[in-house]
Amino acid sequence: MFLEKFFNPQSVAIIGASVDEQKVGGMILKNILKSGYLGEIYPINPKYSKIKELACFSSIKKLPNSVDLVVIAIPAARVTEALRDCVGKTENVVVVSAGFSEVGSDGKKLEEELKVIAKEGKLNLLGPNCMGVMNVENKLNATFGAFFPVKGGVSLVTQSGAFVSALLDFSQKYKIGYSKLATIGNKAVLDEVDFLEYLSADKNTKVIGFYLESIVRGKEFIEKIKKVSKKKPVLIFKAGNGQRTNEAILSHTGAMAGESVVAKAAIESAGGLYFDRLESFLAALRFFASGKKVISPKILILTNAGGPGVVATDMIESDSILELAEVSPEKKEQLAIELPKAASLKNPIDLLGDALAERYQKVLNIFANDKASIVGIITRQAGTDLKQILKVFAKASKKKATVPIYLGGKVFRHTFSRLADVFEGLRAGWQYSQMKNRKEQIPVFEKLPNFQSIWETKIKNTLDANRKMLTFKDATELVSMIGLDFLESFSPVEFLALEKKSFPVVLKIDDDQFIHKEQSGGLVFGIVNQDKLEAEIKKIRAKFGDLKLTIQPQVEAGLEVIVGAKIDPIFGPVLMCGLGGIFTELIDEKNIFVFPIEQHLMMEKLSNSKLAKIMEKKGIALESLIEVLKKVANLVENMKGFSQLDINPIFFYPDKNPLAIDIKIILP
Amino acid sequence: MFLEKFFNPQSVAIIGASVDEQKVGGMILKNILKSGYLGEIYPINPKYSKIKELACFSSIKKLPNSVDLVVIAIPAARVTEALRDCVGKTENVVVVSAGFSEVGSDGKKLEEELKVIAKEGKLNLLGPNCMGVMNVENKLNATFGAFFPVKGGVSLVTQSGAFVSALLDFSQKYKIGYSKLATIGNKAVLDEVDFLEYLSADKNTKVIGFYLESIVRGKEFIEKIKKVSKKKPVLIFKAGNGQRTNEAILSHTGAMAGESVVAKAAIESAGGLYFDRLESFLAALRFFASGKKVISPKILILTNAGGPGVVATDMIESDSILELAEVSPEKKEQLAIELPKAASLKNPIDLLGDALAERYQKVLNIFANDKASIVGIITRQAGTDLKQILKVFAKASKKKATVPIYLGGKVFRHTFSRLADVFEGLRAGWQYSQMKNRKEQIPVFEKLPNFQSIWETKIKNTLDANRKMLTFKDATELVSMIGLDFLESFSPVEFLALEKKSFPVVLKIDDDQFIHKEQSGGLVFGIVNQDKLEAEIKKIRAKFGDLKLTIQPQVEAGLEVIVGAKIDPIFGPVLMCGLGGIFTELIDEKNIFVFPIEQHLMMEKLSNSKLAKIMEKKGIALESLIEVLKKVANLVENMKGFSQLDINPIFFYPDKNPLAIDIKIILP
């Protein structure tokens, strides 16, 4: 299987192996020896003939046989030569060395050379600028990190080596077990898609975590996630896309980050779990590592301390996903028999400060067949038999999540120590369980009849006119083909020739130099008669020259909505809708859909949106928005070669059809 | 000094002391003995003549002398008698026993008895339903908790005993040192205000933390915070006020929680730091415990790992308070000399994976006189001399915060292990430093001439008419006295008698049974002529009977704003403003001001509000809102005995005065 030899090599060569354990090559050799790897090990270094009782070769070419995996850990300038030497000797190479695209243009050139050598020599190349690979089952630690974890079900793919160090250090403390680890660094050849493929099929991997700074092959990644997430949870922590963050990413792994909101929409629509906070990612990883399943958004709290019970209740009450479970009257009766009189039988169930394991056990038994997840809060009070209580939780029914949280300093396996972390975990668990059970729908794509030739003519006309933006007329003609109503428009000549002119009208410049007409003064509202119109035309021409002008009747304002589409460089076409007008920024909600769009997912997402709430308040049916989006999605699928489409605004009314006011279609 | 003997008693008696260390009285005695307390100890229990070499008395009355502090740990039913016995023997009593107002009406009665005995017997009573007190300097552990912390500058007052346990357990791990601890439980007599007073004057207390489920004496608490926070940070973590949370609080400490948004506004305006997330509170407590000072919102990141640097940058970029520091060209030159070529000199400064303590030290030296706080990220890479690096940070300039974060499992003193926690701490530090430097303003209160007699007449008229809500006419008359424009209104008779009637008009019911007129059908818009008006009047009377009706001209809608005031049961009068109309819920912003209102604080808060952003977009000056709020605040100060005032909506325009459309003044 592809990549199998990265994790299960029969033999490993280390180019740059050294007796000096302060050197990267020395560390890697030490780690491989220390972890207990049972395959052949070949140190490669012209300076030595032997390292730690192992025969050392001056060059990989001098090896009598071929080797399953080669790790290169020498200065960047000498890597290309070493890589060339690998051709024919191996198919799998990890370049640990740094100093490539992350350091600027010289490094970038060097990295390009690596790619060429790898391609021509048929090498699966991991890195450069990475920390190596690990397979815990196989006891292979081919990294220069300080930790080798215990065995378990988590596999990790990360763009940052140091993250692996930090995570493993953290995991050691929380006793989280790992299966495979790959650090992908600059991703010159192998990337997240390749490893997702491998880990998907790996039976020891129960949950897959990614730390990514960039996503390269967006569409393939999404397609893979869609399949894998039906079998095991895929967690993706991605650094954001502020300007400075992107600069930092560029100098770290030489990658361009792409738009995080699009990545989030794409990953979530494929059933992956997207995280933009490190702490949430770690909490969810810990949760899934425990193998617990969440089968309801409801949470029942058991506590031996009132205060923390209050705080936990408060957190759930203000959560947008989790809910407090109700304790039924029957259960209350059962509880009343088992608990002391002073105990509180409502959720949070207060077992009182003197609760021992037995009391927790009794309550867990009562709720054993209940779907609600159970969070057991334990504080150390005098007499608390903590270890016994944790045993009770460890043995609790596996049918639904039953999570102990010990509020204090000590750390125990599969036990949380922060309320916030437990709820992050449960939230991710519930999200995953919903996604897993979601039925996939095949998106419908309708080929618009006669569209292609018209579209091609429009492109030609636009380019011939030395424009990138289609004229408003051209844009409306395309939009009319999907059955969207738009506000009629006239050139000054057309308008003045009309027999029946209705005022007031709006006058605007239709030129792609003036995409933001309003700010520049190229948009005049409320022109009430012909004299005023002629005066405004004169004024605008005096100011801006002889540009194309458009006149539209001024209509009753509806709810301003923005509908748009663009080609994302990573994920391809995306559709967007959001609130227009002055509230856009404050509501700050972009509903993004990555093609191919499944209609029920669009429905689901939109029904929970703020935009839907506003529409409801205005008495506008959400279906009218869905209809518009479906039409625009279809237009996008037909309109190959466009770069950006903006319908801004489109007015929605409670009692009439949506009306597109301004339409821009922009070519690349 | 008041309460001095709770923390520095020369002698302590324990009513309910026992040889059985599973019993609460036994635990407390054990803890007092174990912690190394040097004063006299008197066990009180009729069952024993001696406990652990100490003479045991059958009753407190049998003690030959008086005693500084008495701890009562016997079943609730016997506490009143024991408390009576204390009168004359001591002035300070801690009732640890539970079973009072938190368990319902019987317990509530018992608690009332305690209050009476305490008052008549001049007893300072702490509890009941609490865990006791600690003074780490004095080695007094008069609690039944499992932990006694190390000495330090944090003092804690909490309504939940278990929280102390959890916090001390947590603190032991992070090596946070404590000074005093008081658990206040049901707060029958002594409460948070008393302890804030004491801790304010206590020189060993450097930072004060509260966990509160309720605040009782709001105004006194706020006044105290105002003074104390000039000297030391006061951190308040308060559980929220969802319905279920309040139920849980009621059954935990028998308290009513009050509105959290008001508590937050009140505490913050006094210079306290308010937290509604446990994790944020703990992070801030740790931060202040380290004694670090934040003198700028800017943050400089040093890191030995690219990935975590990227994540930290991302977190700061999306933070609403913290900012990324810029590295000046001069500093970059200095860095270039000290750092390896591959290092990144922009913020985040990447010191590279092989950075040792020396390299961190060099960079810290370069920024020693810079105001920006420094966050040093350390991951364990092969060779990392972690302890040396932490020493470098510990010795760094105390002029500004320099915080190390070790991303991994191990925990070190004054070292964070989560990025989120560091930023919580720095945010709280910066907030505190701004508050501390804030100049206090004396709020201006203008007595309105002739107001009092008019106001009293209105109250009388309202009550005489068997109403709680003033008529619209009466309300507008009061509002006119503060110079606010309001929309004229007419009774049907008045309107029909007008010589010049302008249409369209709005017809509405003016009756306090119809506070929400719109939903009930008691509000009709767009009546275009007299016939229609008469028809609508008939219709409304047929439906609702012969109620008071009001007619108003329909005006051009401005930006809908809600301005209101009410009497909060805990904090007294509060003023509120927010966006009206359909966006209210989604924008979800209440700007709350607790009286007395300092104008510059109001300005500061409003300029950062979403409402201000919307006004700006609409071209409406924020000053016009401030003016309205000042007028309404003055009205509130004059209008003693009102319960609620709602101006909803008041229209704001870019080019004319704000216009109050509907005004409700409600009596208690």
B90/B67 Cα distance (integer angstroms):
5
Question: Using CB atoms, which residue from A251, A276, A618 is nearest to B344?
Answer: A251
Task: Give the residue among A588, A566, A586, A568 at the shortest CA–CA distance from A576.
Answer: A566
* Residue A512 pLDDT exceeds 90: no
Rounded to the nearest angstrom, the minimum Cα separation between B21 and chain A is: 9
* Residue B585 pLDDT exceeds 80: no
* Residue A446 pLDDT exceeds 90: no
First to last CA, chain A: 40
CB contact under 8 A, B165 and A99: no
How would you classify the pairing of strands A349-350 and A298-303?
A: parallel
Q: What is the mean pLDDT of residues A588-593?
A: 88
Quick one: pLDDT at residue B166?
Answer: 83
User: DSSP state, A631?
Assistant: H
Q: What is the mean pLDDT of residues B306-318?
A: 90
- Percent over 70 (pLDDT), chain A: 96
Question: Using CB atoms, which residue from B144, B239, B614 is nearest to A582?
Answer: B614
What would the 3-class secondary structure string for B227-243 be?
A: HHCCCCCEEEEECCCCH
What CA–CA distances, in Å, run from A448 to A304, A596, A639?
Answer: 65, 17, 10
A183/A421 Cα distance (integer angstroms):
26
Q: What is the mean pLDDT of residues B491-511?
A: 87
> What is the per-residue pLDDT across A549-582, written as a single tens digit (0 to 9) for each?
899 998 888 899 999 999 998 999 999 999 988 7
Chain mean pLDDT for chain A: 91
* Residue A215 pLDDT exceeds 80: yes
Minimal-distance CA residue of chain B relative to A251: B344
pLDDT interval class at B285 (50, 70, 90): very high
pLDDT interval class at A391 (50, 70, 90): very high
- Percent over 90 (pLDDT), chain B: 67
Question: Using CB atoms, which residue from B162, B173, B617 is nearest to A306?
Answer: B162
Indicate the Cα dihedral angle B149, B216, A345, B245, nearest 10°.
-90
Question: Which region among A44-58, A215-229, B517-531 has the lowest average model confidence (pLDDT)?
Answer: B517-531
* Residue B254 pLDDT exceeds 70: no
Quick one: pLDDT at residue B61?
Answer: 95
User: DSSP state, B561?
Assistant: E
B111/B101 Cα distance (integer angstroms):
6
* Residue B649 pLDDT exceeds 70: yes
> What is the per-residue pLDDT across B173-188, written as a single tens digit (0 to 9) for each?
888 999 999 999 999 9
B297/B224 Cα distance (integer angstroms):
27
CB contact under 8 A, B313 and A277: no
Quick one: pLDDT at residue A556?
Answer: 84
Interface probe with A: pick from B22, B28, B131, B165, most Cβ of A within 10 Å: B165
Domain extents in chain B = 4-213, 291-413
Q: If you write DSSP's letter for every residue of A206-268 in order, what string do you get?
A: -EEEEEES--SSHHHHHHHHHHHTTTS-EEEEE----HHHHHHHHHHHS-----HHHHHHHHH
Q: Which residues contact B535 (CB under 8 A, 6 or more apart)?
A: none
Quick one: pLDDT at residue A50?
Answer: 95
Rounded to the nearest angstrom, the minimum Cα separation between A268 and chain B is: 21
- Tell me the β-bridge partners of B239: none
Decide if A251 contacts B344 (C-beta within 8 A).
yes
What CA–CA distances, in Å, run from A271 to A121, A267, A435, A600?
Answer: 36, 6, 5, 14
Interface probe with A: pick from B243, B311, B416, most Cβ of A within 10 Å: B311
**Size of the A and B interface in Cβ pairs below 8 Å:** 262
CB contact under 8 A, A251 and B346: yes
* Residue A255 pLDDT exceeds 70: no
Quick one: pLDDT at residue A97?
Answer: 94
How would you classify the pairing of strands A505-509 and A349-350?
A: unpaired
Could you give the 3-state DSSP secondary structure of residue A179? strand
Q: Which residues of B touch A145 (CB under 8 A)?
A: 381-382
Q: Which residues contact B637 (CB under 8 A, 6 or more apart)?
A: B445, B573, B595
ipTM for the predicted complex comes to 0.82
CB contact under 8 A, A165 and B278: no
Rounded to the nearest angstrom, the minimum Cα separation between A240 and chain B is: 6
> What is the per-residue pLDDT across A81-94, written as a single tens digit (0 to 9) for each?
999 999 999 999 99
CB contact under 8 A, A248 and B348: yes
> What is the per-residue pLDDT across A156-190, written as a single tens digit (0 to 9) for each?
999 987 788 888 888 888 889 999 999 999 999 99
Decide if B241 contacts B257 (C-beta within 8 A).
yes
* Residue B426 pLDDT exceeds 70: yes
Q: Which residues of B touch A102 (CB under 8 A)?
A: 306
Question: Using CB atoms, which residue from B408, B583, B614 is nearest to A166?
Answer: B408
* Residue A410 pLDDT exceeds 90: no
Same fold, A4-213 and A291-413: yes
Question: What residue type is assigned to position B508 of the chain?
Answer: K
Quick one: pLDDT at residue A278?
Answer: 86
Question: Which pair of structure tokens corresponds to residue B428?
Answer: 């709280």
User: DSSP state, B91?
Assistant: S
> What is the per-residue pLDDT across B548-559, written as a single tens digit (0 to 9) for each?
889 999 888 889
User: DSSP state, A638?
Assistant: H
How would you classify the pairing of strands B234-238 and B92-95?
A: unpaired
- Tell me the β-bridge partners of A30: none
Question: Using CB atoms, which residue from B279, B306, B313 is nearest to A418?
Answer: B279
What are B166-169's contacts with CB under 8 Å, separation 24+? B166/A305, B166/A308, B166/A379, B166/A380, B166/A407, B166/A408, B167/B282, B169/A379, B169/A380, B169/A407, B169/A408, B169/A409, B169/A410
Rounded to the nearest angstrom, the minimum Cα separation between A58 and chain B is: 25
Chain mean pLDDT for chain B: 91
B660/B627 Cα distance (integer angstroms):
13
Question: Which region among B42-51, B251-260, B340-349 has the lowest average model confidence (pLDDT)?
Answer: B251-260
Question: Which pair of structure tokens corresponds to residue B128?
Answer: 């009941």
CB contact under 8 A, A162 and B307: yes
Cα A120 to chain center, whole Å? 33
pLDDT interval class at A516 (50, 70, 90): low
Question: Which pair of structure tokens corresponds to residue A538?
Answer: 């004169």
Question: In B152-217, which residue ranges form alpha helices assigned H by DSSP?
Answer: 161-174, 192-201
Interface probe with A: pick from B379, B417, B589, B616, most Cβ of A within 10 Å: B379
Quick one: pLDDT at residue B456?
Answer: 95
* Residue B599 pLDDT exceeds 80: yes
User: DSSP state, A542?
Assistant: H
pLDDT interval class at A13 (50, 70, 90): very high
> What is the per-residue pLDDT across B448-494, written as a single tens digit (0 to 9) for each?
888 999 999 999 999 999 999 999 889 999 999 999 999 998 989 89
Quick one: pLDDT at residue A89?
Answer: 96
Out of 3.40.50.300, 2.60.120.260, 3.20.20.70, 3.40.50.720, which CATH number does the structure's domain A4-213 have? 3.40.50.720
Rounded to the nearest angstrom, the minimum Cα separation between A590 and chain B is: 14
- Percent over 90 (pLDDT), chain A: 67
What CA–CA distances, in Å, run from A447 to A95, A444, A484, A644, B148?
Answer: 47, 10, 16, 20, 75
What is the CATH number that goes with domain B291-413?
3.40.50.261
Question: Using CB atoms, which residue from B165, B239, B586 is nearest to A587?
Answer: B586
Q: Which residues of A touch B161 (CB under 8 A)?
A: 305, 307, 353
Rounded to the nearest angstrom, the minimum Cα separation between B160 and chain A is: 5
Q: Which residues of B touch A172 (CB under 8 A)?
A: 409
Could you give the 3-state DSSP secondary structure of residue A43? strand
